[in-house]
């Protein structure tokens, strides 16, 4: 098994649970596999498919997912195909012929077509196993319910001896039970991996206004030069605003939301997958059907409505296991918008509870990963050291006077103001609203001039979270002082605020350690004598360009040619012989033969004295 893993996929070792699952399937037994996105589910049925007689039938709900998987398999020299409505009928019948001949090791198929095929050619085919991908689609309770999936119970009836492996990244109990019963799995092995994604760094910024967000986003992307990422926004107009801002700064960006035509959406997705744009500014609609393994970062321009959404979106980064970064912006206006959504959703109490948990995560002063994982029912006994709270624990100070100033302003306006006017009063800003209400005459007018507006934004959000200020959602979102707030205002208790840290982390080079390995290099042989030094980063860049060139020739996404991880290994180990090239993690036999010459000659050229 180990040898096949290296030969076909180029991997040196199995990830947790993979080996166990594969052995189980090879014994002809059913299995339910719960693994997070990027956990490595595909290998669990692809490797058995290679080892068993006949064709593995993989049920998949989305054409784009099938396409990606088939491309990845073919790139490793494994015979695979997908039966779907994107093919011509001639193509489809050719595929069916190959399945009947047994030359196809894996056949991807949509559930509708499967029903059809069960009555047709599958009666004559040798089926090694059935893999039901995205198996949660079977459950009505889940978020991606697909009625066609509920017919999959017939598989066991028609093929009682063929093992079924159901795979999903959605782990809740009801869904799990639903999958087991509806697929009629027999004495199945249940394999549950940790849902932790330790390679994704988690961070939150509180109370930023759009100008500061923009600056922070540019700063963030500057640390991720050329690396793919997604900016998630709550509204279509925000996706457009952010996209325009990025373009103005020379960053290749595009938008994706439900208001675009199907063609526009497909184009955006294709451009992203093929690294033609670096950034997609999207509403939640984006990301579902893509397996791009080298998404390096996710920004939430607005807070999502629940931790489920948040974690799912964050999980689109770092599927290849390489360091990735997630940044969440959290502001009072998000809380207000999301509260409105929740109230109009018809399930107010559930959705308000979810929002509350989301907010608690955003306000966390303990390890964020612990909060996330415990929300999903997994307890870890240590801090992660890869979130902003672990790396930079919040400090508190006695903020009683600050809180009193704000509460006093609210009090003196008879609690008839919201965030913007409150800050105007504290800062002593004259504008129409202030003049119309004569707020300039208040004793607190200008009392908070020593604190910049952006910090007031942050402090006020903290006051809401600490329960000193309530928001009257049915009264134009005006602030109301709570009992706890009143105690602080009248000096009966004190208030602890978190010190605001504005400094953006310094541009950090992720590949710093390796970058110290300096590789001598001459310029292009044609431009002769000009000697220069190439370091790790430069070699990586050269390799990345070659990858892109090959991907364009073969019309597949660059990550199908090689993952970022493999490129990194190449840049680090700089193999100059095809033999050494083949030993690199991620290089299987097929890719070694196909790409060995091009990559090693580039490396040799780069290393040349
Ligand atoms: P999932 O379907 O669970 O989201 P995939 O099967 O697409 O995850 O795998 C995610 C990534 O991890 C892919 O890039 C895959 O090539 C890589 N991967 C899977 N198994 C291994 C392994 N044993 N060693 C190294 N990389 C692996
Ligand atoms: Zn942590």
Nearest to 134 by CA among 54, 85, 65, 86: 65
Determine which residue's CA is closest to atom 11 belonging to ligand 1. 320
Quote the crossing angle between the two packed helices 419-427 and 400-412, to the nearest 10°.
110
Ligand 2 centre distance from Cα of residue 391 (Å): 7
Q: Using the Cα atoms of residue 415, residue 418, residue 419 and residue 420 in order, give the sign of their dihedral.
A: negative
Domains of the chain in sequence order = 2-192 (3.40.50.300), 200-391 (3.40.50.300), 396-498 (1.10.10.10), 517-607 (1.10.150.80)
Residue 250 CA, ligand 2 centroid: distance in Å: 33
Nearest C-alpha neighbor of 364 from the set 333, 340, 328: 328
The DSSP secondary structure of 458-472, one letter per residue, reads HHHHHHHHTTSEEEE
User: Are the beta carbons of 165 and 129 closer than 8 angstroms?
Assistant: yes
Indicate if ligand 1 lies below 6 Å from the C-beta of 319.
yes
Does ligand 1 come within 6 angstroms of the Cβ of 292? no
Rounded-to-integer distance, Cα 359 and Cα 30, Å:
40
38 within ligand 1 shell (Cβ under 6 A): yes
Residue with CA nearest ligand 1 atom 14: 320
**In sequence order, what DSSP letters do the residues of 14-35 get, joined into one string?**
PPTTHHHHHHHHHTT--EEEE-
d(CA 71, CA 93) in angstroms, rounded, equals: 19
> How many Å lie between the centroid of ligand 2 and the Cα of residue 98?
50
Closest residue (by CA) to atom 1 of ligand 1?
38
Angstrom distance (rounded) from CA 183 to CA 595: 42
Cα distances (angstroms) measured from residue 332 to each of 357, 461, 465, 468:
15, 6, 10, 14
Report the pLDDT value the prediction gives residue 133, as an integer from 0 to 100. 95
- In angstroms, the CA 606 to CA 603 distance is 5
Atom of ligand 1 at shortest range from CA of 321: 12
Give the single-character DSSP code of 516: T
Helices assigned H by DSSP within 345-430 = 348-362, 368-375, 388-391, 400-412, 419-427
Taking the CA atoms of 552, 556, 557 and 559 in sequence, report the sign of the dihedral they define.
negative
Task: Say if ligand 1 is within 6 A of residue 39 CB.
Answer: yes
Nearest ligand by distance to the CA of 17: 1
Residues 78-105: tens digit of each pLDDT: 999 999 888 899 999 999 999 999 899 9
Looking at the chain, the whole-number percentage of residues with pLDDT higher than 90 is 76
Which residues, in sequence order, are bridge partners of residue 232?
A: 282, 300
Residue keyed to tokens 């500014």: 281
Quote the pLDDT of residue 118. Answer: 94
Q: By 3-state DSSP, what share of the chain in percent is helix, strand and coil, each rounded to 5?
A: 50, 15, 35
Residue 577 in contact with residue 65, Cβ under 8 Å? no
Q: Is the CB of 35 under 6 A from ligand 1?
A: yes
Ligand 2 centroid to residue 143 C-alpha, Å = 28
Overall residue count recorded for the chain in this entry: 609
Cβ partners under 8 Å of residue 98, min gap 6: 79, 81, 104
Between CA 521 and CA 530 the distance in angstroms is: 10
Q: In the chain, how many H helices and how many E strands?
A: 27, 19
Please tell me whether residue 370 adopts helix, strand or coil conformation. helix
Question: Encoding tokens for residue 116?
Answer: 């059809």
Q: Which ligand is nearest to the CA of 367?
A: 2
State the DSSP H helix or E strand holding residue 246, giving kind and residue range, or none if neither: helix 236-248
> Quick one: which ligand is closest to 388's CA?
2
**In which residue ranges of the chain is pLDDT below 70?**
142-143, 171, 503-534, 609
Q: Which residues contact 586 (CB under 8 A, 6 or more apart)?
A: 9, 10, 11, 562, 563, 565, 566, 569
pLDDT of residue 465: 84
Ligand 1 atom having least distance to the Cα of 293: 14
Q: Output the DSSP codes for 407-437.
A: HHHHHHTTT---HHHHHHHHHT---HHHHHT
The closest ligand to the CA of 12 turns out to be 1
- Any ligand 1 atom below 6 A from CB of 434: no
Q: Is 15 in the pocket of ligand 1 (CB under 6 A)?
A: yes
Structure tokens at 398: 């006695």
Cβ of 320 less than 6 Å from ligand 1 = yes
User: Please, how many CA atoms are within 13 Å of residue 20, restricted to the half-sphere of its CB?
Assistant: 11
Query: What is the per-residue pLDDT for 172?
Result: 74
Residues 476-516: tens digit of each pLDDT? 889 999 999 999 999 999 999 999 887 655 554 444 333 33
- DSSP for 529-564? T-EEEEEHHHHHHHHHHHHHHHHHHHTS-HHHH--H
Rounded to 5°, angle at Cα 404 from 403 and 408: 120
386 C-alpha to center of ligand 2: Å? 5
Q: What is the pLDDT of residue 607?
A: 84
- Specify whether the CB–CB gap between 221 and 189 falls below 8 A: no
HEC per residue, 202-236: EEEEECCCHHHHHHHHHHHHHCCCCCEEEEECCCH
């Amino acid at each position: 098994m180990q040898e096949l893993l290296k030969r076909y996929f180029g991997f040196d070792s199995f990830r947790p649970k993979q080996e166990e699952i594969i052995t189980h399937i090879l014994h002809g037994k059913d299995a339910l596999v719960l693994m997070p996105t990027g956990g490595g589910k595909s290998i669990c049925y692809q490797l058995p498919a290679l080892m068993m007689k006949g064709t593995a039938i993989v049920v998949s709900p989305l054409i784009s997912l099938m396409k990606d998987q088939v491309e990845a398999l073919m790139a490793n020299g494994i015979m695979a195909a997908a039966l779907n409505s994107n093919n011509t009928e001639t193509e489809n019948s050719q595929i069916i012929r190959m399945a009947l001949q047994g030359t196809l090791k894996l056949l991807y198929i949509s559930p509708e077509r499967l029903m059809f095929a069960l009555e047709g050619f599958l009666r004559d085919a040798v089926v090694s196993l059935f893999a039901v991908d995205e198996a949660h689609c079977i459950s009505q309770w889940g978020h991606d319910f697909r009625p066609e999936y509920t017919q999959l119970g017939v598989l066991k009836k028609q093929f009682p001896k063929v093992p079924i492996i159901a795979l999903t990244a959605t782990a809740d109990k009801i869904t799990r039970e639903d999958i087991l019963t509806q697929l009629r799995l027999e004495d199945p092995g249940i394999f549950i991996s940790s849902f932790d994604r330790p390679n994704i760094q988690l961070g939150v910024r509180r109370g930023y206004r759009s100008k500061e967000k923009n600056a922070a986003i540019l700063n963030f992307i500057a640390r991720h030069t050329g690396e793919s990422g997604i900016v998630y926004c709550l509204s279509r107009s925000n996706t457009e605003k952010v996209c325009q801002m990025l373009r103005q700064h020379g960053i290749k960006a595009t938008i994706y939301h439900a208001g675009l035509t199907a063609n526009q959406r497909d184009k955006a997705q294709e451009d992203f997958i093929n690294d033609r744009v670096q950034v997609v500014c999207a509403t939640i609609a984006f990301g579902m059907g893509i397996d791009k393994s080298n998404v390096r970062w996710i920004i939430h321009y607005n807070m999502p409505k629940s931790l489920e959404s948040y974690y799912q979106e964050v999980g689109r980064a770092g599927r290849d296991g390489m360091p990735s970064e997630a940044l969440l912006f959290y502001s009072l206006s998000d809380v207000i918008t999301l509260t409105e959504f929740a109230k109009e959703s018809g399930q107010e109490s559930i959705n308000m509870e979810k929002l509350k948990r989301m907010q608690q995560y955003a306000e966390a002063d303990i390890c964020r990963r612990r909060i996330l994982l415990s929300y999903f029912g997994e307890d870890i006994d240590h801090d992660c050291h890869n979130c902003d709270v672990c790396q930079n624990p919040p400090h508190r100070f006695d903020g009683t006077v600050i809180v009193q100033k704000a509460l006093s302003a609210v009090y003196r306006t008879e609690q008839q103001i919201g965030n913007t006017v409150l800050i105007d009063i504290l800062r002593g800003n004259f504008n129409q609203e202030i003049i119309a209400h004569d707020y300039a005459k208040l004793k607190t007018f200008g009392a908070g001039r020593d604190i910049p507006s952006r910090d007031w934004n942050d402090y006020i959000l903290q006051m809401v979270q600490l329960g000193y200020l309530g928001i009257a959602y049915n009264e134009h979102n005006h602030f109301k002082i709570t009992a706890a707030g009143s105690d602080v205002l009248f000096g009966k208790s004190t208030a602890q605020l978190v010190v605001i840290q504005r400094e953006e982390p310094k541009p950090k080079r992720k590949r710093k350690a390796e970058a110290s390995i300096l590789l001598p290099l001459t310029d292009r042989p044609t431009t002769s004598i000009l000697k220069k030094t190439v370091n790790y980063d430069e070699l990586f860049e050269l390799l990345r360009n070659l990858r892109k060139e090959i991907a364009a020739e073969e019309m597949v996404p660059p990550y199908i040619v090689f993952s970022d991880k493999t490129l990194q290994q190449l840049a680090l180990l700089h193999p100059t012989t095809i033999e050494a090239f083949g030993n690199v993690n991620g290089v299987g036999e097929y890719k070694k033969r196909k790409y060995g010459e091009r990559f090693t000659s580039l490396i040799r050229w780069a290393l040349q004295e």
